C-alpha cells in the first residue's frame, strides 16, 4: 500500500458537540473554510441532532448553506434517526446538502440506550429506514461506537463489531467508521480488529476513529496504519467526545489530535496531503474560537520547528 492517508477533520462536529457554549455560525464557517484551505478532502461539517438535545448544531442549515463548495472536498453530516435524514433530504433538494451522511449504531446495548435512547434492535431498524429514505443521494458512512469497549458493559466482542460492519455493508455503506469512543483500545486490540476488518471487507473503506481518553490515541492510530488502515478521523486541538449533556466515563474524552497525528505521519513519511503552514493557522483559529489553549503538543512545541531539525538519538 502507498504511504498516503486521508484524514477527516471532525472539529466542527465531533469536536464542538462537547462544548457547553455555542460557537457562532460565522466562526464555524470561517473554520470550515480554513480546513478546506489546509487541504482536507473529507470534513465533518455539522449534525442533524435535535437542537434541544445538542444545541451546538441548531444552525446546521445555515452552516451548510455557506459551506465552501470546492471540487474534491466532501462534507459529512451526522444523522441519528429518520427525522434527521428527512432534514438532510430537505437541504439536498435545496441544493445545500451534505455529500456524506453518518448513521450510528453502538456496539453495546447499554451505550445504545444511553447515547441514542433506543435499543440496538430498534436502532438497526432506524438505520435500515434511514438508508431507504436517503435513496442513494449521499455517500453512506456507517459508524460503530464503543467498538473496543463500553463504559457500562465493559469489553465488546469483536465478532459483534464485525457483524455490525457486515450489516452496514449489506445496506450499501461504502465507508464504516470504527469508534474507540472512550479510549480503551490498545495497539494490540487495534491491530487485530482492523486487520480482520480489512481482510473480511476488502472493498470497504474502513475508518479509524480514536479518542485520547487514556493517552493512547496516537499509538493506536499507528497500529491501525500498520494494519493497513488509510482513513482516519481526527479533530483540531484534540477536542470533542460525547455531547456535553451526556456524561459517562471519566477524564478527557477528546478525539485524536489532528496537528499531532499529521506531524507524526509526515515525520514517518506518510503523506497526508495537507499544507502544514495552513494547518498551523487553522490550529490557532480553533483555539481562538474556543477561547483557550487546546491539547495539541505540536502547537505548544512550535509548528515552525516541526520536521526541520534531525532527531538526536
DSSP string, 45-79: EEE-S-TTT-GGGTTHHHHHHT----TT-EEEEEE
Residue the block writes with cell 473554510: 33
| Measured distance CA(246)–CA(18) in Å, rounded | 9
pLDDT digits (tens, 9 = 90+) for 21-33: 999 999 999 999 9
Contact status, residue 192 vs residue 157, Cβ threshold 8 Å: no
Query: In DSSP terms, which residues pair with 42 in a beta bridge?
Result: 8, 74
Bridge partners for 206 per DSSP:
176
How does residue 311 score in pLDDT terms, banded at 50, 70 and 90? very low
Taking 80 as the threshold, does the pLDDT of residue 309 lie above it?
no
- Report residue 104: phi and psi, to 5°: -110, 140
CB 32 within 8 A of CB 255: no
Cell numbers at residue 164, please? 455490525
**pLDDT at res. 117:** 81
CB 139 within 8 A of CB 74: yes
Query: Grid coordinates in use for 29?
Result: 464557517
234 with 8: CB under 8 angstroms? yes
**pTM for the model:** 0.93
pLDDT at 223 over 90: yes
Q: Which domains does the chain have, with CATH numbers?
A: 6-305 (3.20.20.70)
Residue 222's nearest CA partner among 184, 190, 269, 254 is: 190
Residue 237 has pLDDT above 60, yes or no: yes
| Residue pLDDT, tens place only, 80-125 | 999 999 999 999 999 999 999 999 999 888 887 877 787 999 999 9
Q: With 0-12 CB in 10 A as exposed, 13-18 as middle and 19+ as buried, what is 274? A: buried
Amino acid at each position: 500500500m502507498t504511504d498516503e492517508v486521508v484524514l477527516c477533520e471532525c472539529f466542527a462536529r465531533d469536536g464542538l458537540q462537547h462544548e457547553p457554549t455555542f460557537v457562532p455560525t460565522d466562526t464555524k464557517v470561517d473554520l470550515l473554510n480554513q480546513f478546506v484551505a489546509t487541504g482536507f478532502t473529507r470534513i465533518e461539517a455539522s449534525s442533524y441532532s435535535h437542537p434541544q438535545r445538542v444545541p451546538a448544531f441548531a444552525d446546521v442549515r445555515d452552516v451548510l448553506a455557506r459551506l465552501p463548495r470546492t471540487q474534491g472536498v466532501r462534507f459529512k453530516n451526522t444523522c441519528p434517526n429518520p427525522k434527521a435524514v428527512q432534514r438532510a433530504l430537505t437541504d439536498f433538494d435545496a441544493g445545500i446538502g451534505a455529500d456524506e451522511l453518518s448513521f450510528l449504531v453502538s456496539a453495546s446495548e447499554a451505550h445504545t440506550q444511553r447515547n441514542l435512547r433506543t435499543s440496538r434492535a430498534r436502532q438497526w431498524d432506524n438505520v435500515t429506514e434511514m438508508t431507504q429514505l436517503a435513496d442513494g443521494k449521499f455517500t453512506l458512512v456507517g459508524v460503530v461506537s464503543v467498538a473496543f469497549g463500553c463504559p457500562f458493559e465493559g469489553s465488546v466482542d469483536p465478532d459483534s463489531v464485525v457483524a455490525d460492519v457486515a450489516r452496514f455493508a449489506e445496506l450499501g455503506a461504502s465507508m464504516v467508521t470504527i469508534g474507540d469512543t472512550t479510549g480503551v483500545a490498545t495497539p494490540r486490540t487495534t491491530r487485530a480488529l482492523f486487520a480482520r476488518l480489512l481482510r473480511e471487507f476488502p472493498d470497504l473503506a474502513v475508518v479509524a476513529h480514536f479518542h485520547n481518553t487514556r493517552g493512547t490515541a496516537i499509538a493506536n492510530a499507528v497500529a491501525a496504519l500498520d494494519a493497513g488502515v488509510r482513513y482516519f478521523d481526527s479533530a483540531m486541538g484534540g477536542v470533542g467526545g460525547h455531547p456535553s449533556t451526556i456524561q459517562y466515563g471519566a477524564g478527557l474524552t477528546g478525539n485524536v489530535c489532528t496537528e499531532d497525528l499529521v506531524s507524526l505521519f509526515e515525520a514517518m513519511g506518510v503523506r497526508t496531503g495537507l499544507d502544514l503552514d495552513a494547518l498551523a493557522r487553522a490550529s490557532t483559529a480553533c483555539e481562538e474560537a474556543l477561547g483557550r489553549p487546546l491539547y495539541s503538543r505540536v502547537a505548544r512545541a512550535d509548528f515552525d520547528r516541526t520536521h526541520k531539525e534531525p532527531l538526536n538519538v
